[in-house]
């Protein structure tokens, strides 16, 4: 039997990954900043698979190359060899409500009589129309908040820092920015620090900023520290200069620990993998059940499944095989092909699961269609029981800060109780980790985390009448 799955029922998507690198001009030939940026974006590909781009400066001009597709599809050796310089910024994008078009791909470039500015952005602003009203009509050519920021930051000619000092305090929402002019690399993070941003140092000279420490690791950079909430840095021949444009009000995204960040990334000095395994242990203690094998939904459920198996004493096993080559496809399936459903991505190991009481661990349930298809597929393959365990609390509220969650009306937990969700997906039992246990596993104080998708408490205020839907059509 095949299991039809709604192709829009994708896992939560982060808006994008950002990367920037500065090396001394006399090391430009050796360092090849375009290739460093390519590898950095490759490490951040999980944060956005829709488009990719790199901007490079040789000290006198900025060249931008961007296109739709994965990093490896957009760039090849010949393209990278044309992007020569000693400063670069790069971006991989997944749009939330903004259009998936070439114009909205990043870096966003603006030019003036004083020079150029290239900007990449991870996050989502909630006062974009207010910011756009500061610009002259006809200035904007794209439909993203990134375009608005780039236009505003280029208003002070050859002094982006002066523009940033004026604009960023008036900017509300989530933004981790990396931008450059012909001679300097800049980075800034919103006062809440909702989206991540880290600083690294290259051996032999040079500096790197990236969304995650995994982006530093891949280019051999040493992790120095996180860019602080409300901090802005500038990197040039004088080194790294830091200044604060707003008081820090830390509210890091809790969902980074659940799904978004790579497991080999470090947040606040703690491995994401270690946190996810600990969440699995706590999940086993909160929602025990008799079973024969713990299996993950690969790969998002793997660390928590390992922790669940450790704490429960139930053997960990592989019950589903993932096709590693299924990414975001631009080929829309016909109805005949669509009915193959989830088997394009996952297929059961019948010999391993037949007759077994399975505990299936996954990171989250958004609309419910994927879990419904998995449960049915496992039963068809002979599973005696299917118990679903989720390593996050119910996702009940939309995100306005850069994650492509559905509207509240589309979120299954926004409308149904846990028991009703269990019945809807066809599981024998369903258990979510509690919010308190997830927070405790993160080792971050509750008041320093954004938990809005779980509890509806938005750290940057959102109008009450907007909480059931995405706030803006203009988004990064």
**Dihedral sign from CA coordinates of 89, 472, 390, 269:** positive
Task: Confirm whether 453 is a catalytic residue.
Answer: no
Sign of CA dihedral 76, 329, 43, 150: positive
CA distance 257 to 44: 15
| Catalytic entry in 16, 253, 399, 450 | 16
φ, ψ dihedrals at 25, nearest 5°: -55, -35
DSSP 334: P
- The count of C-alpha atoms lying within 13 angstroms of the C-alpha of 434, restricted to the half-sphere facing its C-beta, is 7
- Secondary structure letter of residue 27 according to DSSP: G
In angstroms, the CA 20 to CA 54 distance is 9
How far apart CA 60 and CA 85 sit, in angstroms, is 9
Asked whether 20 and 209 are in contact (CB, 8 A), the reply is: yes
Measured CA to CA, the distance from residue 34 to residue 21 in angstroms comes to 9
With a CB cutoff of 8 Å and minimum separation 6, the contacts of 420 are none
SS3 468: coil
Helix (H, G, I), strand (E, B) or coil at 220: coil
What residues are labeled active site?
A: 16
């Amino acid at each position: 039997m095949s299991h039809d799955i709604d192709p829009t029922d994708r896992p939560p998507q982060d808006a994008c990954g950002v990367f920037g690198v500065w090396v001394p001009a006399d090391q430009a030939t050796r360092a090849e900043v375009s290739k460093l940026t390519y590898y950095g974006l490759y490490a951040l590909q999980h944060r956005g698979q829709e488009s990719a781009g790199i901007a490079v400066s040789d000290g006198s001009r900025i060249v931008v190359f961007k296109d739709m597709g994965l990093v490896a599809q957009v760039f090849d050796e010949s393209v990278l060899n044309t992007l020569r310089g000693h400063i670069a910024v790069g971006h991989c994008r997944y749009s939330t409500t903004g259009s998936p078009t070439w114009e909205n791909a990043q870096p966003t470039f603006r030019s003036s009589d004083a020079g150029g500015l290239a900007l990449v952005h991870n996050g989502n602003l909630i006062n974009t129309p207010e910011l756009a009203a500061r610009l002259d009509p006809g200035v904007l050519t794209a439909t993203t908040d990134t375009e608005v920021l780039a236009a505003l930051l280029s208003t002070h000619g050859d002094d982006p820092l002066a523009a940033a000092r004026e604009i960023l305090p008036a900017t509300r929402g989530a933004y981790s920015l990396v931008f450059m002019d012909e001679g300097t690399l800049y980075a800034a993070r919103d006062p809440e620090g909702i989206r991540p941003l880290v600083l690294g140092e290259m051996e032999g000279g040079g500096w790197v900023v990236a969304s995650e420490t995994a982006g530093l690791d891949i280019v051999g950079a040493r992790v120095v520290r996180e860019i602080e909430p409300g901090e802005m840095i500038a990197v040039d021949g004088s080194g790294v200069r830091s200044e604060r444009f707003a008081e820090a009000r830390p509210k890091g995204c809790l969902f980074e620990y659940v799904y978004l960040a790579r497991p080999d990334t470090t947040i606040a000095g703690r491995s994401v993998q270690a946190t996810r395994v600990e969440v699995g242990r706590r999940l086993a203690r909160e929602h025990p059940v008799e079973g024969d094998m713990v299996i993950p939904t690969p790969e998002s459920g793997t660390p928590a499944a390992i922790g669940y198996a450790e704490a429960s004493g139930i053997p960990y096993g592989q019950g589903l095989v993932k096709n590693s080559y299924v990414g975001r496809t631009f080929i829309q399936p016909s109805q005949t092909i669509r009915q193959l459903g989830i088997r394009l991505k996952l297929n059961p190991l019948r010999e391993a699961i037949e007759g077994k009481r399975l505990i299936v661990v996954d990171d989250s349930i958004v609309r419910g269609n994927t879990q419904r298809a998995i449960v049915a597929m496992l039963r068809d393959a002979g599973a005696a029981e299917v118990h679903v365990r989720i390593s996050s609390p119910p996702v009940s509220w939309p995100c306005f800060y850069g994650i492509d969650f559905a509207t509240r009306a589309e979120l299954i937990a926004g409308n149904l109780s846990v028991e009703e969700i269990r019945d809807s997906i066809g599981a024998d039992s369903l258990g979510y980790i509690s919010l308190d246990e997830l927070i405790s596993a993160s080792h971050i104080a509750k008041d320093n985390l954004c938990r809005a998708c779980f509890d509806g408490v938005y750290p940057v205020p959102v109008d009450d009448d907007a909480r059931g839907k995405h706030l803006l059509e203009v988004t990064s």
